[in-house]
Amino acid sequence: MKALTYMQSSLSAETLKLKSTFALWMAVLAPCALISMYFLAFWAKGENLVNKEVGAWVSFGMNNFIVYTQLLMPVFIALLTSMTNGIEHKANGWKHLYALPLPKSTVYFSKVLITLGLVLLSTVVFIVALIMAGTVLNWLRPELGFGTYEKLDIIIFSSFKIFLASVVIIAIQFWLSIRFNSFALAMGVAIVAIITTLVANRWEYINYYPFAYPLMVMKGFMKKEYQVFTEEVVLSMVVGCVVFILGYLDVARKKVL
Amino acid sequence: MKPNIIETKHLSYSFGQRQVLQNLSLRVPKGSIFGFLGPNGAGKSTTIRVLLGLLQVPEGQVRVHGKDLKYNRLEILQKTGALIEMPTLYRHLSGYDNLEITRRIVQAPKSRIGEVLEVVGLHHDATRKTKEYSLGMSQRLGIALALLSDPELLILDEPTNGLDPSGIREIRNLIISLNRDFGKTIFLSSHLLSEIEKTATELAIIDKGVMLYQGRMQDLYQNAFRSQVLTLSCDNTTIAAKLLSDHQYQLIAHEAETITVQLAEKKQVAAVNRLLVENGLEVYSLNPGSQSLEDLFLSITNGDTAVNLPSETLQPAQL
Protein backbone atom coordinates (compact mmCIF):
# COMPACT_ATOMS: atom_id res chain seq x y z
CA MET A 1 0.00 0.00 0.00
CA LYS A 2 2.80 2.34 0.98
CA ALA A 3 4.68 1.47 -2.21
CA LEU A 4 1.65 2.65 -4.16
CA THR A 5 1.60 6.01 -2.37
CA TYR A 6 5.30 6.45 -3.07
CA MET A 7 4.76 5.61 -6.72
CA GLN A 8 1.82 7.98 -6.98
CA SER A 9 3.66 10.95 -5.50
CA SER A 10 6.78 10.21 -7.51
CA LEU A 11 4.80 9.96 -10.74
CA SER A 12 3.05 13.26 -10.12
CA ALA A 13 6.41 14.91 -9.42
CA GLU A 14 7.93 13.42 -12.58
CA THR A 15 5.00 14.61 -14.66
CA LEU A 16 5.52 18.16 -13.46
CA LYS A 17 9.20 18.00 -14.48
CA LEU A 18 8.06 17.47 -18.09
CA LYS A 19 6.14 20.72 -18.11
CA SER A 20 7.25 22.92 -21.02
CA THR A 21 10.09 20.60 -22.00
CA PHE A 22 10.94 19.64 -25.55
CA ALA A 23 10.54 15.96 -24.65
CA LEU A 24 6.82 16.42 -24.17
CA TRP A 25 6.46 18.41 -27.37
CA MET A 26 8.43 15.85 -29.31
CA ALA A 27 6.16 13.01 -28.21
CA VAL A 28 3.30 14.96 -29.79
CA LEU A 29 5.01 16.53 -32.78
CA ALA A 30 7.06 13.59 -34.10
CA PRO A 31 4.07 11.45 -35.16
CA CYS A 32 2.33 14.54 -36.53
CA ALA A 33 5.38 15.36 -38.65
CA LEU A 34 5.49 11.86 -40.12
CA ILE A 35 1.76 11.79 -40.86
CA SER A 36 1.80 15.23 -42.44
CA MET A 37 4.58 14.17 -44.84
CA TYR A 38 2.54 11.24 -46.07
CA PHE A 39 -0.56 13.41 -46.06
CA LEU A 40 1.12 15.70 -48.57
CA ALA A 41 2.40 12.76 -50.57
CA PHE A 42 -1.05 11.16 -50.80
CA TRP A 43 -2.66 14.48 -51.55
CA ALA A 44 -0.28 15.08 -54.46
CA LYS A 45 0.36 11.57 -55.78
CA GLY A 46 -2.31 9.49 -54.07
CA GLU A 47 -3.20 7.62 -57.25
CA ASN A 48 0.30 6.05 -57.33
CA LEU A 49 0.44 5.30 -53.62
CA VAL A 50 -2.91 3.65 -53.00
CA ASN A 51 -2.78 -0.07 -53.58
CA LYS A 52 -6.27 -1.00 -54.82
CA GLU A 53 -5.98 -4.52 -53.39
CA VAL A 54 -5.57 -3.46 -49.76
CA GLY A 55 -7.40 -0.15 -49.89
CA ALA A 56 -6.54 3.46 -49.10
CA TRP A 57 -6.31 3.23 -45.31
CA VAL A 58 -4.00 0.21 -45.24
CA SER A 59 -1.80 1.78 -47.94
CA PHE A 60 -1.59 5.00 -45.95
CA GLY A 61 -0.88 3.14 -42.69
CA MET A 62 1.68 0.85 -44.25
CA ASN A 63 3.70 3.70 -45.75
CA ASN A 64 3.86 5.34 -42.36
CA PHE A 65 4.76 2.09 -40.60
CA ILE A 66 7.61 1.30 -42.99
CA VAL A 67 9.35 4.59 -42.32
CA TYR A 68 8.49 4.62 -38.64
CA THR A 69 9.61 1.12 -37.69
CA GLN A 70 12.84 1.14 -39.69
CA LEU A 71 14.07 4.69 -39.53
CA LEU A 72 12.18 6.99 -37.26
CA MET A 73 11.52 4.95 -34.16
CA PRO A 74 15.11 4.17 -33.07
CA VAL A 75 15.97 7.87 -33.31
CA PHE A 76 12.72 8.95 -31.71
CA ILE A 77 13.18 6.65 -28.70
CA ALA A 78 16.83 7.64 -28.29
CA LEU A 79 15.87 11.32 -28.32
CA LEU A 80 12.99 10.82 -25.93
CA THR A 81 14.87 8.78 -23.31
CA SER A 82 17.96 10.96 -23.36
CA MET A 83 15.76 14.03 -23.03
CA THR A 84 13.63 12.75 -20.16
CA ASN A 85 16.61 11.46 -18.19
CA GLY A 86 18.56 14.50 -19.34
CA ILE A 87 16.20 16.68 -17.28
CA GLU A 88 17.69 15.07 -14.16
CA HIS A 89 21.27 15.08 -15.44
CA LYS A 90 21.00 18.74 -16.40
CA ALA A 91 19.62 19.77 -13.03
CA ASN A 92 22.29 17.66 -11.33
CA GLY A 93 19.25 16.20 -9.62
CA TRP A 94 20.19 12.64 -8.73
CA LYS A 95 21.72 13.47 -5.35
CA HIS A 96 18.68 15.53 -4.39
CA LEU A 97 16.29 12.88 -5.64
CA TYR A 98 17.98 10.02 -3.81
CA ALA A 99 18.19 12.06 -0.60
CA LEU A 100 14.40 12.41 -0.58
CA PRO A 101 12.33 9.90 1.36
CA LEU A 102 11.59 7.66 -1.63
CA PRO A 103 12.72 4.09 -2.25
CA LYS A 104 15.32 3.97 -5.02
CA SER A 105 13.13 1.55 -6.93
CA THR A 106 10.30 4.09 -6.93
CA VAL A 107 12.59 6.78 -8.34
CA TYR A 108 13.72 4.44 -11.12
CA PHE A 109 10.45 2.82 -12.06
CA SER A 110 8.43 6.02 -11.99
CA LYS A 111 10.84 7.33 -14.62
CA VAL A 112 10.38 4.10 -16.56
CA LEU A 113 6.61 4.53 -16.47
CA ILE A 114 6.87 8.17 -17.55
CA THR A 115 9.05 7.20 -20.53
CA LEU A 116 6.76 4.35 -21.55
CA GLY A 117 3.84 6.74 -21.11
CA LEU A 118 5.42 9.26 -23.46
CA VAL A 119 5.93 6.65 -26.19
CA LEU A 120 2.37 5.46 -25.67
CA LEU A 121 1.19 9.05 -25.91
CA SER A 122 2.92 9.46 -29.24
CA THR A 123 1.28 6.22 -30.42
CA VAL A 124 -2.12 7.64 -29.55
CA VAL A 125 -1.25 10.92 -31.25
CA PHE A 126 -0.13 8.92 -34.29
CA ILE A 127 -3.50 7.18 -34.50
CA VAL A 128 -5.49 10.38 -34.04
CA ALA A 129 -3.37 12.22 -36.60
CA LEU A 130 -3.69 9.32 -39.04
CA ILE A 131 -7.49 9.29 -38.80
CA MET A 132 -7.65 13.06 -39.18
CA ALA A 133 -5.28 13.00 -42.16
CA GLY A 134 -7.32 10.24 -43.85
CA THR A 135 -10.54 12.12 -43.25
CA VAL A 136 -9.15 15.32 -44.73
CA LEU A 137 -7.71 13.34 -47.69
CA ASN A 138 -11.17 11.92 -48.33
CA TRP A 139 -12.53 15.43 -48.43
CA LEU A 140 -9.73 16.67 -50.71
CA ARG A 141 -9.52 13.63 -52.98
CA PRO A 142 -12.62 11.43 -52.58
CA GLU A 143 -11.58 9.15 -55.47
CA LEU A 144 -8.70 7.67 -53.39
CA GLY A 145 -11.15 5.67 -51.29
CA PHE A 146 -10.62 7.00 -47.76
CA GLY A 147 -14.41 7.25 -47.36
CA THR A 148 -14.84 3.61 -46.41
CA TYR A 149 -12.84 3.63 -43.17
CA GLU A 150 -12.14 0.04 -44.11
CA LYS A 151 -9.59 -1.92 -42.00
CA LEU A 152 -8.90 1.11 -39.81
CA ASP A 153 -9.15 -1.23 -36.82
CA ILE A 154 -6.14 -3.22 -38.05
CA ILE A 155 -4.07 -0.08 -38.34
CA ILE A 156 -4.97 0.98 -34.79
CA PHE A 157 -4.32 -2.54 -33.53
CA SER A 158 -0.93 -2.65 -35.29
CA SER A 159 0.10 0.74 -33.91
CA PHE A 160 -0.30 -0.54 -30.35
CA LYS A 161 1.47 -3.74 -31.30
CA ILE A 162 4.42 -1.73 -32.57
CA PHE A 163 4.48 0.09 -29.25
CA LEU A 164 4.65 -3.24 -27.39
CA ALA A 165 7.37 -4.48 -29.73
CA SER A 166 9.42 -1.35 -29.00
CA VAL A 167 9.49 -1.91 -25.21
CA VAL A 168 12.88 -3.60 -25.41
CA ILE A 169 14.36 -0.68 -27.39
CA ILE A 170 12.96 1.74 -24.82
CA ALA A 171 14.50 -0.37 -22.03
CA ILE A 172 17.96 -0.40 -23.62
CA GLN A 173 17.94 3.32 -24.38
CA PHE A 174 16.53 4.10 -20.94
CA TRP A 175 19.35 2.24 -19.25
CA LEU A 176 21.97 4.00 -21.35
CA SER A 177 20.49 7.43 -20.77
CA ILE A 178 20.02 7.06 -17.02
CA ARG A 179 23.55 5.69 -16.67
CA PHE A 180 25.40 8.06 -18.97
CA ASN A 181 24.70 11.71 -19.52
CA SER A 182 25.50 11.43 -23.22
CA PHE A 183 23.29 12.37 -26.09
CA ALA A 184 25.91 11.18 -28.57
CA LEU A 185 25.87 7.68 -27.11
CA ALA A 186 22.09 7.42 -27.40
CA MET A 187 22.16 8.63 -30.99
CA GLY A 188 25.08 6.39 -31.86
CA VAL A 189 23.24 3.32 -30.62
CA ALA A 190 20.15 4.42 -32.55
CA ILE A 191 22.10 4.81 -35.79
CA VAL A 192 23.80 1.45 -35.34
CA ALA A 193 20.35 -0.05 -34.74
CA ILE A 194 18.97 1.46 -37.95
CA ILE A 195 21.89 0.34 -40.10
CA THR A 196 22.09 -3.19 -38.70
CA THR A 197 18.35 -3.66 -39.11
CA LEU A 198 18.48 -2.46 -42.71
CA VAL A 199 21.50 -4.59 -43.57
CA ALA A 200 20.29 -7.72 -41.79
CA ASN A 201 16.75 -7.35 -43.08
CA ARG A 202 16.76 -10.73 -44.84
CA TRP A 203 18.87 -12.60 -42.29
CA GLU A 204 17.11 -15.78 -41.09
CA TYR A 205 17.55 -14.87 -37.39
CA ILE A 206 16.54 -11.22 -37.74
CA ASN A 207 13.42 -12.00 -35.72
CA TYR A 208 15.62 -12.41 -32.59
CA TYR A 209 17.35 -9.04 -32.99
CA PRO A 210 15.75 -6.66 -30.45
CA PHE A 211 15.91 -3.59 -32.66
CA ALA A 212 14.02 -5.46 -35.38
CA TYR A 213 10.95 -6.42 -33.33
CA PRO A 214 8.82 -3.47 -34.54
CA LEU A 215 9.82 -4.35 -38.11
CA MET A 216 8.58 -7.91 -37.50
CA VAL A 217 5.22 -6.48 -36.42
CA MET A 218 5.10 -4.48 -39.64
CA LYS A 219 5.87 -7.58 -41.69
CA GLY A 220 3.11 -9.43 -39.82
CA PHE A 221 0.78 -6.55 -40.61
CA MET A 222 1.48 -7.03 -44.30
CA LYS A 223 0.76 -10.75 -43.91
CA LYS A 224 -2.55 -9.81 -42.23
CA GLU A 225 -1.71 -11.25 -38.86
CA TYR A 226 -4.34 -10.39 -36.27
CA GLN A 227 -2.79 -11.85 -33.15
CA VAL A 228 -1.55 -9.57 -30.36
CA PHE A 229 1.03 -11.71 -28.63
CA THR A 230 3.12 -12.82 -31.56
CA GLU A 231 6.69 -13.97 -31.01
CA GLU A 232 8.30 -10.53 -31.37
CA VAL A 233 5.81 -8.87 -28.99
CA VAL A 234 6.33 -11.50 -26.29
CA LEU A 235 10.11 -11.36 -26.75
CA SER A 236 10.12 -7.56 -26.63
CA MET A 237 8.09 -7.42 -23.43
CA VAL A 238 9.98 -10.19 -21.63
CA VAL A 239 13.46 -9.04 -22.65
CA GLY A 240 12.39 -5.41 -22.07
CA CYS A 241 11.34 -6.19 -18.50
CA VAL A 242 14.62 -8.03 -17.88
CA VAL A 243 16.62 -5.07 -19.21
CA PHE A 244 14.60 -2.63 -17.08
CA ILE A 245 15.31 -4.74 -13.98
CA LEU A 246 19.01 -5.15 -14.82
CA GLY A 247 19.18 -1.40 -15.37
CA TYR A 248 17.65 -0.85 -11.95
CA LEU A 249 20.11 -3.20 -10.24
CA ASP A 250 22.94 -1.40 -11.98
CA VAL A 251 21.70 2.07 -11.04
CA ALA A 252 20.82 1.12 -7.46
CA ARG A 253 24.28 -0.13 -6.62
CA LYS A 254 25.95 2.87 -8.22
CA LYS A 255 27.40 5.48 -5.89
CA VAL A 256 25.57 8.80 -6.02
CA LEU A 257 28.12 11.55 -6.34
CA MET B 1 23.39 16.14 28.14
CA LYS B 2 21.40 16.74 24.98
CA PRO B 3 20.74 13.75 22.74
CA ASN B 4 22.78 13.57 19.57
CA ILE B 5 20.86 13.89 16.33
CA ILE B 6 23.78 12.54 14.29
CA GLU B 7 26.25 10.02 15.61
CA THR B 8 28.91 8.21 13.68
CA LYS B 9 31.07 5.53 15.21
CA HIS B 10 34.51 4.95 13.74
CA LEU B 11 33.17 5.81 10.33
CA SER B 12 35.56 4.92 7.56
CA TYR B 13 34.99 5.14 3.84
CA SER B 14 37.15 4.57 0.84
CA PHE B 15 36.78 4.92 -2.90
CA GLY B 16 38.60 1.83 -4.06
CA GLN B 17 42.13 2.08 -2.68
CA ARG B 18 41.82 5.69 -1.60
CA GLN B 19 40.81 6.09 2.04
CA VAL B 20 38.59 9.18 2.27
CA LEU B 21 37.29 8.97 5.83
CA GLN B 22 39.15 7.44 8.71
CA ASN B 23 37.65 6.57 12.04
CA LEU B 24 35.34 9.55 12.10
CA SER B 25 33.24 9.79 15.26
CA LEU B 26 30.87 12.70 14.90
CA ARG B 27 28.47 13.76 17.62
CA VAL B 28 26.00 16.42 16.60
CA PRO B 29 23.85 17.56 19.54
CA LYS B 30 20.19 18.30 18.92
CA GLY B 31 19.43 22.00 18.59
CA SER B 32 22.92 23.05 17.64
CA ILE B 33 24.42 24.68 14.60
CA PHE B 34 27.18 22.24 13.92
CA GLY B 35 30.03 23.64 11.86
CA PHE B 36 31.86 21.02 9.86
CA LEU B 37 35.07 22.60 8.79
CA GLY B 38 37.83 21.43 6.56
CA PRO B 39 39.83 22.41 3.51
CA ASN B 40 38.72 21.29 0.06
CA GLY B 41 39.09 17.56 -0.36
CA ALA B 42 39.05 16.88 3.37
CA GLY B 43 36.12 14.48 3.13
CA LYS B 44 33.28 16.82 4.07
CA SER B 45 31.10 16.06 1.08
CA THR B 46 31.78 12.35 1.40
CA THR B 47 30.66 12.49 5.03
CA ILE B 48 27.47 14.28 4.02
CA ARG B 49 26.75 11.76 1.28
CA VAL B 50 27.20 8.98 3.81
CA LEU B 51 24.86 10.73 6.26
CA LEU B 52 22.18 10.96 3.56
CA GLY B 53 22.55 7.35 2.49
CA LEU B 54 23.92 8.25 -0.95
CA LEU B 55 27.03 6.22 -0.20
CA GLN B 56 26.61 2.98 1.65
CA VAL B 57 28.38 2.12 4.88
CA PRO B 58 28.11 -0.98 7.06
CA GLU B 59 25.62 -1.31 9.88
CA GLY B 60 26.36 0.38 13.18
CA GLN B 61 28.53 3.18 11.87
CA VAL B 62 25.94 5.88 11.34
CA ARG B 63 22.98 6.75 13.52
CA VAL B 64 20.72 9.67 12.58
CA HIS B 65 17.70 10.65 14.68
CA GLY B 66 18.76 7.78 16.98
CA LYS B 67 18.29 5.14 14.28
CA ASP B 68 20.74 3.08 12.26
CA LEU B 69 20.93 4.53 8.77
CA LYS B 70 21.43 1.16 7.12
CA TYR B 71 17.92 -0.06 8.00
CA ASN B 72 15.95 3.16 8.48
CA ARG B 73 16.95 5.21 5.46
CA LEU B 74 13.47 6.39 4.48
CA GLU B 75 12.39 7.16 8.02
CA ILE B 76 15.55 9.20 8.61
CA LEU B 77 15.24 11.05 5.30
CA GLN B 78 11.67 12.01 6.14
CA LYS B 79 13.00 14.06 9.06
CA THR B 80 16.03 15.43 7.24
CA GLY B 81 16.37 18.18 4.69
CA ALA B 82 19.49 18.57 2.62
CA LEU B 83 21.21 20.99 0.30
CA ILE B 84 24.24 19.40 -1.30
CA GLU B 85 26.56 21.92 -2.91
CA MET B 86 24.68 23.52 -5.80
CA PRO B 87 20.93 23.11 -5.36
CA THR B 88 19.00 20.86 -7.71
CA LEU B 89 16.89 23.21 -9.77
CA TYR B 90 14.96 22.41 -12.90
CA ARG B 91 15.89 25.55 -14.77
CA HIS B 92 13.00 25.37 -17.24
CA LEU B 93 10.50 25.66 -14.39
CA SER B 94 9.55 28.46 -12.00
CA GLY B 95 10.67 28.56 -8.40
CA TYR B 96 7.16 27.59 -7.38
CA ASP B 97 7.10 24.55 -9.67
CA ASN B 98 10.50 23.45 -8.40
CA LEU B 99 9.11 23.51 -4.88
CA GLU B 100 5.95 21.76 -6.03
CA ILE B 101 7.97 18.82 -7.45
CA THR B 102 9.65 18.15 -4.12
CA ARG B 103 6.45 18.89 -2.21
CA ARG B 104 4.66 16.12 -4.10
CA ILE B 105 7.40 13.67 -3.15
CA VAL B 106 7.63 14.59 0.53
CA GLN B 107 3.84 14.93 0.65
CA ALA B 108 3.80 18.22 2.49
CA PRO B 109 0.59 20.28 2.49
CA LYS B 110 0.27 22.76 -0.36
CA SER B 111 0.35 25.73 2.04
CA ARG B 112 3.89 24.76 3.00
CA ILE B 113 5.24 26.21 -0.27
CA GLY B 114 4.08 29.70 0.71
CA GLU B 115 5.60 29.26 4.14
CA VAL B 116 9.05 28.24 2.95
CA LEU B 117 9.06 30.97 0.30
CA GLU B 118 8.37 33.44 3.10
CA VAL B 119 11.17 32.02 5.25
CA VAL B 120 13.80 32.35 2.52
CA GLY B 121 12.36 35.63 1.23
CA LEU B 122 11.57 34.53 -2.31
CA HIS B 123 7.79 34.97 -2.39
CA HIS B 124 8.07 37.82 -4.91
CA ASP B 125 10.15 35.76 -7.32
CA ALA B 126 8.29 32.46 -7.04
CA THR B 127 6.69 32.70 -10.49
CA ARG B 128 9.94 33.51 -12.31
CA LYS B 129 11.83 30.77 -14.09
CA THR B 130 14.77 29.61 -12.02
CA LYS B 131 17.17 30.12 -14.91
CA GLU B 132 16.73 33.83 -14.25
CA TYR B 133 17.71 33.42 -10.60
CA SER B 134 20.97 34.79 -9.23
CA LEU B 135 23.31 32.44 -7.45
CA GLY B 136 22.11 33.69 -4.07
CA MET B 137 18.47 33.23 -4.99
CA SER B 138 19.18 29.72 -6.26
CA GLN B 139 20.91 28.89 -3.03
CA ARG B 140 17.98 30.22 -1.01
CA LEU B 141 15.55 28.24 -3.12
CA GLY B 142 17.74 25.20 -2.42
CA ILE B 143 17.30 25.81 1.30
CA ALA B 144 13.57 26.25 0.76
CA LEU B 145 13.51 22.83 -0.94
CA ALA B 146 15.27 21.33 2.06
CA LEU B 147 12.75 22.97 4.39
CA LEU B 148 9.62 21.68 2.63
CA SER B 149 9.15 18.60 4.75
CA ASP B 150 9.66 20.69 7.92
CA PRO B 151 12.64 18.53 8.92
CA GLU B 152 14.21 18.51 12.37
CA LEU B 153 17.63 18.29 10.83
CA LEU B 154 19.04 20.36 8.00
CA ILE B 155 22.22 19.27 6.29
CA LEU B 156 23.76 22.07 4.28
CA ASP B 157 26.88 21.39 2.26
CA GLU B 158 28.80 24.58 1.50
CA PRO B 159 25.64 26.71 1.27
CA THR B 160 27.58 29.93 0.75
CA ASN B 161 29.84 28.60 -2.00
CA GLY B 162 30.25 31.11 -4.77
CA LEU B 163 28.13 33.84 -3.19
CA ASP B 164 29.06 37.48 -2.88
CA PRO B 165 29.40 39.04 0.60
CA SER B 166 25.78 40.17 0.79
CA GLY B 167 24.58 36.78 -0.38
CA ILE B 168 26.76 35.15 2.26
CA ARG B 169 25.27 37.37 4.93
CA GLU B 170 21.72 36.57 3.82
CA ILE B 171 22.37 32.83 4.06
CA ARG B 172 24.12 33.24 7.40
CA ASN B 173 21.21 35.18 8.89
CA LEU B 174 18.81 32.62 7.49
CA ILE B 175 20.75 29.77 9.11
CA ILE B 176 20.83 31.51 12.47
CA SER B 177 17.12 32.29 12.27
CA LEU B 178 16.23 28.71 11.31
CA ASN B 179 18.08 27.49 14.36
CA ARG B 180 16.86 30.12 16.81
CA ASP B 181 13.29 30.71 15.65
CA PHE B 182 12.40 27.31 14.20
CA GLY B 183 14.48 25.06 16.44
CA LYS B 184 16.21 23.24 13.58
CA THR B 185 19.44 21.42 14.12
CA ILE B 186 21.78 22.49 11.36
CA PHE B 187 24.76 20.56 10.11
CA LEU B 188 26.76 23.07 8.13
CA SER B 189 29.83 22.19 6.17
CA SER B 190 32.21 24.83 4.92
CA HIS B 191 35.80 25.54 4.06
CA LEU B 192 35.24 29.16 5.04
CA LEU B 193 36.23 29.71 8.62
CA SER B 194 34.60 33.10 8.86
CA GLU B 195 31.24 31.48 8.14
CA ILE B 196 31.54 28.77 10.76
CA GLU B 197 32.99 31.23 13.27
CA LYS B 198 29.94 33.47 12.94
CA THR B 199 27.19 30.89 13.04
CA ALA B 200 28.20 27.63 14.66
CA THR B 201 27.70 26.65 18.28
CA GLU B 202 29.52 23.35 17.83
CA LEU B 203 32.42 22.62 15.62
CA ALA B 204 34.36 19.80 14.10
CA ILE B 205 37.51 20.26 12.07
CA ILE B 206 38.45 17.57 9.62
CA ASP B 207 41.37 17.15 7.29
CA LYS B 208 42.34 14.26 5.01
CA GLY B 209 39.43 12.28 6.43
CA VAL B 210 40.66 12.56 10.01
CA MET B 211 38.94 14.50 12.77
CA LEU B 212 41.26 17.09 14.25
CA TYR B 213 38.96 18.81 16.70
CA GLN B 214 35.43 18.43 17.92
CA GLY B 215 33.67 20.35 20.61
CA ARG B 216 31.85 23.51 21.53
CA MET B 217 32.84 26.70 19.81
CA GLN B 218 33.52 28.49 23.12
CA ASP B 219 35.86 25.76 24.28
CA LEU B 220 37.86 26.13 21.13
CA TYR B 221 38.38 29.81 21.86
CA GLN B 222 39.27 29.17 25.48
CA ASN B 223 41.63 26.29 24.88
CA ALA B 224 43.28 27.21 21.71
CA PHE B 225 43.56 30.95 21.87
CA ARG B 226 46.40 30.99 24.28
CA SER B 227 48.73 31.54 21.43
CA GLN B 228 49.97 35.14 21.76
CA VAL B 229 51.82 37.07 19.15
CA LEU B 230 53.39 40.52 19.09
CA THR B 231 53.89 42.73 16.08
CA LEU B 232 56.30 45.57 16.56
CA SER B 233 58.02 48.22 14.55
CA CYS B 234 61.26 50.00 15.31
CA ASP B 235 64.01 51.98 13.60
CA ASN B 236 66.08 48.97 12.61
CA THR B 237 64.18 45.77 12.23
CA THR B 238 67.20 43.79 11.07
CA ILE B 239 69.05 44.34 14.33
CA ALA B 240 65.84 43.79 16.30
CA ALA B 241 65.25 40.48 14.56
CA LYS B 242 68.82 39.36 15.32
CA LEU B 243 68.44 40.41 18.94
CA LEU B 244 65.16 38.66 19.43
CA SER B 245 66.24 35.41 17.88
CA ASP B 246 69.45 35.51 19.94
CA HIS B 247 67.25 35.71 23.02
CA GLN B 248 65.28 32.60 22.01
CA TYR B 249 62.20 34.39 20.73
CA GLN B 250 60.49 32.65 17.85
CA LEU B 251 60.10 34.94 14.88
CA ILE B 252 57.01 34.43 12.79
CA ALA B 253 57.46 37.13 10.22
CA HIS B 254 60.06 39.68 9.39
CA GLU B 255 59.18 42.46 7.02
CA ALA B 256 60.74 45.81 6.17
CA GLU B 257 58.84 47.76 8.80
CA THR B 258 57.55 45.16 11.21
CA ILE B 259 58.49 42.00 13.02
CA THR B 260 56.08 39.44 14.45
CA VAL B 261 57.17 37.21 17.29
CA GLN B 262 55.55 34.34 19.10
CA LEU B 263 55.10 34.90 22.84
CA ALA B 264 54.47 32.44 25.61
CA GLU B 265 52.48 34.94 27.66
CA LYS B 266 51.37 38.54 27.55
CA LYS B 267 53.97 39.69 30.11
CA GLN B 268 56.67 39.08 27.56
CA VAL B 269 55.57 42.16 25.64
CA ALA B 270 57.26 44.27 28.30
CA ALA B 271 60.34 42.08 28.25
CA VAL B 272 60.67 42.42 24.49
CA ASN B 273 60.27 46.16 24.74
CA ARG B 274 62.94 46.39 27.46
CA LEU B 275 65.32 44.24 25.47
CA LEU B 276 65.02 46.43 22.40
CA VAL B 277 65.22 49.74 24.26
CA GLU B 278 68.21 48.62 26.35
CA ASN B 279 70.00 47.78 23.13
CA GLY B 280 69.52 51.27 21.80
CA LEU B 281 66.66 50.67 19.37
CA GLU B 282 63.80 53.11 18.95
CA VAL B 283 60.52 51.24 19.37
CA TYR B 284 57.64 52.86 17.46
CA SER B 285 54.81 50.47 18.11
CA LEU B 286 53.90 47.28 19.92
CA ASN B 287 50.76 45.41 18.83
CA PRO B 288 50.03 42.35 20.92
CA GLY B 289 47.40 40.06 19.44
CA SER B 290 46.04 36.60 19.44
CA GLN B 291 45.64 34.17 16.60
CA SER B 292 42.29 34.27 14.91
CA LEU B 293 40.43 31.07 14.24
CA GLU B 294 41.66 31.32 10.68
CA ASP B 295 45.29 31.08 11.75
CA LEU B 296 44.37 28.37 14.14
CA PHE B 297 42.54 26.49 11.40
CA LEU B 298 45.46 26.85 9.08
CA SER B 299 47.89 25.81 11.78
CA ILE B 300 45.78 22.78 12.69
CA THR B 301 45.39 21.64 9.14
CA ASN B 302 49.01 22.34 8.28
CA GLY B 303 50.18 20.34 11.25
CA ASP B 304 52.28 23.13 12.80
CA THR B 305 51.63 26.24 14.81
CA ALA B 306 51.45 29.89 13.92
CA VAL B 307 52.27 30.33 10.30
CA ASN B 308 50.28 33.41 9.51
CA LEU B 309 50.24 36.95 10.63
CA PRO B 310 47.51 37.78 13.07
CA SER B 311 44.70 39.44 11.19
CA GLU B 312 44.90 42.56 13.38
CA THR B 313 48.26 43.48 11.97
CA LEU B 314 46.89 43.57 8.47
CA GLN B 315 44.92 46.68 9.26
CA PRO B 316 46.48 50.00 8.29
CA ALA B 317 48.64 51.62 10.94
CA GLN B 318 46.85 54.05 13.18
CA LEU B 319 48.14 57.55 13.69
Whole-angstrom distance, CA of residue A172 vs CA of residue A188: 13
Residues of B in contact with A93 (CB under 8 A): 88, 90
Whole-angstrom distance, CA of residue B200 vs CA of residue B193: 10
**Which pLDDT score, from 0 to 100, does residue A218 have?**
79
Query: Average pLDDT of B184-204?
Result: 87
User: How many residues belong to chain B?
Assistant: 319
pLDDT band at B15 (very low <50, low <70, confident <90, very high): confident
Of the candidates A134, A163, A164, which has an alpha carbon nearest to the alpha carbon of residue A36? A134
Whole-angstrom distance, CA of residue B137 vs CA of residue A6: 30
- Domains and their CATH numbers in chain B: 4-222 (3.40.50.300), 226-314 (3.30.70.80)
Question: Is residue B311's pLDDT more than 60?
Answer: no
Q: Which residues contact B173 (CB under 8 A, 6 or more apart)?
A: none
Helix or strand or coil: residue A204? coil
Nearest chain B CA: its distance from A101 CA (Å): 5
pLDDT band at B309 (very low <50, low <70, confident <90, very high): very low
The pLDDT tens digits for B45-59 are 899 999 998 888 887
Beta bridge partners of B260: B231, B253
ipTM: 0.85
Q: Which residues of B42-72 are buried (b: 16+ CB within 10 A; e: fewer)?
A: bbbbbbbbbbbbbbebeeebbbbbeeebeeb
Indicate the pairing of strand B228-234 with strand B258-263: antiparallel
Question: Which residue has better confidence, B100 or B289?
Answer: B100
Question: Which residue has better confidence, A69 or A128?
Answer: A128
Angle between helices A104-140 and A22-49 (to 10 degrees): 30
Question: Are B153 and B5 in contact, with CB atoms under 8 Å apart?
Answer: yes
The pLDDT tens digits for B235-255 are 888 888 888 888 888 777 787
Query: In chain B, what percentage of residues exceed pLDDT 90?
Result: 21
The pLDDT tens digits for B128-158 are 999 999 888 898 899 999 999 889 999 999 8
Query: Average pLDDT of B73-89?
Result: 89
Beta bridge partners of B187: B34, B155
Q: Which of B52, B86, B104 sits opposite A13 (nearest CB)?
A: B104
Highest mean pLDDT pick, A121-125, B24-28, B268-272: A121-125
Residues of A in contact with B93 (CB under 8 A): 16-17, 19-20
Residues of B in contact with A96 (CB under 8 A): 82, 84, 87-88, 102, 145
Indicate the pairing of strand B202-207 with strand B210-216: antiparallel
Q: For residue A103, give the chain B residue with the closest CA.
A: B74
